Amino acid sequence: MSAKIRLYVEHPLGQGQSVDLTREQAHYLFGVMRLSVGGQVALFNGQDGEWLAEVAEAGKRGGVLACLKQTKPLQMPPDLWLLFAPIKKARTDFIVEKAAEMGAARIMPVKTEFTNSERIRQDRLQAHAVEAAEQCGGTFVPEVTDLQRLSHVLDTWPDGRQLMFCDEAEVGSALRLAASEKNQPWAILIGPEGGFSDVERARLTGLPFAHVVSLGPRILRADTAAVAALTLWQQALGDWS
Amino acid sequence: MSAKIRLYVEHPLGQGQSVDLTREQAHYLFGVMRLSVGGQVALFNGQDGEWLAEVAEAGKRGGVLACLKQTKPLQMPPDLWLLFAPIKKARTDFIVEKAAEMGAARIMPVKTEFTNSERIRQDRLQAHAVEAAEQCGGTFVPEVTDLQRLSHVLDTWPDGRQLMFCDEAEVGSALRLAASEKNQPWAILIGPEGGFSDVERARLTGLPFAHVVSLGPRILRADTAAVAALTLWQQALGDWS
């Protein structure tokens, strides 16, 4: 049995553990969700799986939950990064939410030559990833990194990580892989709304670890492209099959 | 060469055709986009492909465009319907936008037993589909139908149309098809956020034309599920391969 309310906490979870609530968490559980002493919540912290917990103390400014039993083990997503160029605020929020739901392990905003956004609010995007994990029943929260230049990310690319690069200028190639590439870490790169520059495209297509993939004959918005690319990858290589 | 501004018009397009603009279209082209006489626009009407047109007359309350040449033939999407249960307003708008981008031919809001929405604004949703078609470079606009009961839609289901039914309670089955099912018309059904009722699930799984498909181990929001399901279908059966 698992409780309907799921809450991410930055606290160890285990048999006999009690968890102190922050003011915001207490407001959410007791003010918004109307829980009282004895009410049940599912907790996860990204490390110890999901635990059923019971309200032991409830106050306006805080409270205590007591862990009862583990209801799910930690389920790590595949080792998949999602790199994307930030767009308008609402759609950037959506990309982060979707990436967390779809099981990306790490979400990396990158600045390309045609990216308009100069900055992102990393803390706000991380909060969206937490909320999506609470919603989708996951036990893991992907890390949202700070905005980095795409060129820098490629300069420091880790050995052995493959890159699925979704280019709207590309026609007709699906994801075809050598067997040896299947059990490696991966990343997906979604281009900016204005496309990649010629210099970027030349560099990307020349990378030995890059796989150019088509997302069909229509131009997709970046948030649509992110979900579509994650679907293709999860189906071919991830935990959907 | 195709113009950057794309506009859907309800007007025949062809060599020598001139197209009268509505007040809203004139405001958009001349007020918002700052076009003037001689400026170029790409037009489509869902029937005659895409035409490059030039501003012949520009006014505050109207204007005239002259068709110059066809830049794309009409590209019909596959014969695929998307059925979904309406959710919160912003996410319903997103589903319509995504379905149009991803190449659904018809978008059908359906009322299931656990659907909260009693009504939709069909005209507003149709406008979202038009905007998505303008944005994604398509030459076809999917029809958005009025809200119907799922039970009624199933009662009047057309012979030979297959149904891909995405059930979050389902574990582990991917889309596996007999060759004979590949060249038939299809529909995708995305469940409501509260899931299907037991009665609905029993009916759906018993339908001879239904294919139950899993969308992975995490619970997806309805808008995410719509894009993921359209991706799987387009990749396996549609115009992505």
Q: Which of A135, A216, A240 sits opposite B216 (nearest CB)?
A: A240
Q: What's the residue count for chain B?
A: 241
A158 pLDDT band, cuts 50/70/90, is very high
Residues in chain B within 8 Å Cβ distance of A101: 218-221, 224
For chain B, say whether A241 makes contact (Cβ under 8 Å). yes
One DSSP character per residue, A5-66 reads: -EEE-SS---TT-EEEPPHHHHIIIIIIS---TT-EEEEE-SSS-EEEEEEEEE-SS-EEEE
> How many domains are contained in chain B?
2
For chain B, say whether A239 makes contact (Cβ under 8 Å). yes
CA distance B101 to chain A (A): 6
A160 and A215 share one domain: yes
Cβ–Cβ of B174/A224 closer than 8 Å?
A: no
A63 and A84 share one domain: no
Average pLDDT over residues B206-221: 89
pLDDT of residue A33 exceeding 50, the answer is yes
B113 and B222 share one domain: yes
pLDDT by residue (tens digit) across B11-64?
999 999 999 999 999 999 999 999 999 999 999 999 999 999 999 999 989 999
pLDDT of residue A78 exceeding 60, the answer is yes
Identify the residue whose tokens are 């057309």. B158
Q: So what's the pLDDT on residue A168?
A: 67
pLDDT of residue B179 exceeding 90, the answer is no
Residue B214 is which amino acid? S
pLDDT of residue A162 exceeding 50, the answer is yes
Q: Which residue of chain A has the CA closest to B238? A: A216
B118 and B209 share one domain: yes
**Among A residues 76-115, those touching chain B with beta carbons less than 8 Å apart:** 94, 97-98, 101-103
Q: What's the residue count for chain A?
A: 241
pLDDT of residue B4 exceeding 90, the answer is no
Domain range for B95? 80-237
SS (H, E, C) chain B: CCCCCEEECCCCCCCCCEEECCHHHHHHHHHHCCCCCCCEEEEECCCCCEEEEEEEEECCCCEEEEEEEEEECCCCCCCEEEEECCCCHHHHHHHHHHHHHCCCCEEEEEECCCCCCCCCCHHHHHHHHHHHHHHHCCCCCCEECCCEEHHHHHHCCCCCCEEEEECCCCCCCCCCCCHHHCCCCEEEEECCCCCCCHHHHHHHHHCCCEEEECCCCCCCCHHHHHHHHHHHHHHHHCCCC
B96 and B53 share one domain: no
Residues in chain A within 8 Å Cβ distance of B234: 216
Q: Which of B17, B47, B72 is the last residue of a domain?
A: B72
pLDDT of residue B232 exceeding 80, the answer is yes
Domain presence at residue B202: yes
Domain presence at residue A1: no
Identify the residue whose tokens are 């009624």. B152
The tokens of B119 are what? 């009504």
For chain B, say whether A220 makes contact (Cβ under 8 Å). yes
Domain presence at residue B220: yes
Q: Which of B45, B72, B99 is the last residue of a domain?
A: B72
Q: Can you give the CATH number for the domain in which B39 is found?
A: 2.40.240.20
Q: So what's the pLDDT on residue A128?
A: 95
A85 and A168 share one domain: yes
Q: Which of B14, B48, B72 is the last residue of a domain?
A: B72
pLDDT of residue B66 exceeding 70, the answer is yes
Distance CA B140, CA B144 (A): 13
Residues in chain A within 8 Å Cβ distance of B228: 102, 227-228, 230-231
Residues in chain B within 8 Å Cβ distance of A227: 98, 224, 227-228, 231
Q: Can you give the CATH number for the domain in which A223 is found?
A: 3.40.1280.10
pLDDT of residue B1 exceeding 50, the answer is no
Chain-wide mean pLDDT for chain B? 90
B125 and B40 share one domain: no
pLDDT by residue (tens digit) across A171-223?
545 666 666 677 789 999 998 877 889 999 999 989 999 988 888 888 899 99
Residues in chain B within 8 Å Cβ distance of A128: none
| Residue percentage of chain B with pLDDT more than 70 | 93
Chain-wide mean pLDDT for chain A? 90
A1 pLDDT band, cuts 50/70/90, is very low
pLDDT by residue (tens digit) across B81-137?
999 999 888 889 999 999 999 999 999 999 999 887 778 899 999 999 999 999 888
Q: So what's the pLDDT on residue A31?
A: 92
Domain presence at residue A156: yes
Complex ipTM tops 0.85: yes
CA distance B152 to chain A (A): 31
Q: So what's the pLDDT on residue A170?
A: 57
B181 and B207 share one domain: yes
Domain presence at residue A144: yes
Domain presence at residue A134: yes
pLDDT of residue B2 exceeding 80, the answer is no
Q: Which of B97, B224, B239 sits opposite A227 (nearest CB)?
A: B224
Cα distances from B198 to residues A136, B77, B97, B109, B167, in angstroms, run 22, 34, 30, 20, 12
Domain presence at residue B1: no
Q: So what's the pLDDT on residue B168?
A: 67
A138 secondary structure, DSSP code: -
Residues in chain A within 8 Å Cβ distance of B232: 231, 235
A14 and A63 share one domain: yes
- Under 8 Å CB pairs connecting chains A and B tally to 92
Q: So what's the pLDDT on residue B153?
A: 97
Average pLDDT over residues A163-168: 84
Test the A interface: residue of B96, B131, B231, B237 with most A CBs within 10 Å:
B231
Domain presence at residue B232: yes
pLDDT of residue A2 exceeding 60, the answer is no
A62 and A111 share one domain: no
CA distance B133 to chain A (A): 9
- Does residue B175 or residue A48 have the better pLDDT? A48
Q: So what's the pLDDT on residue A176?
A: 66
Residues in chain A within 8 Å Cβ distance of B73: none
B140 and B111 share one domain: yes
B88 and B66 share one domain: no
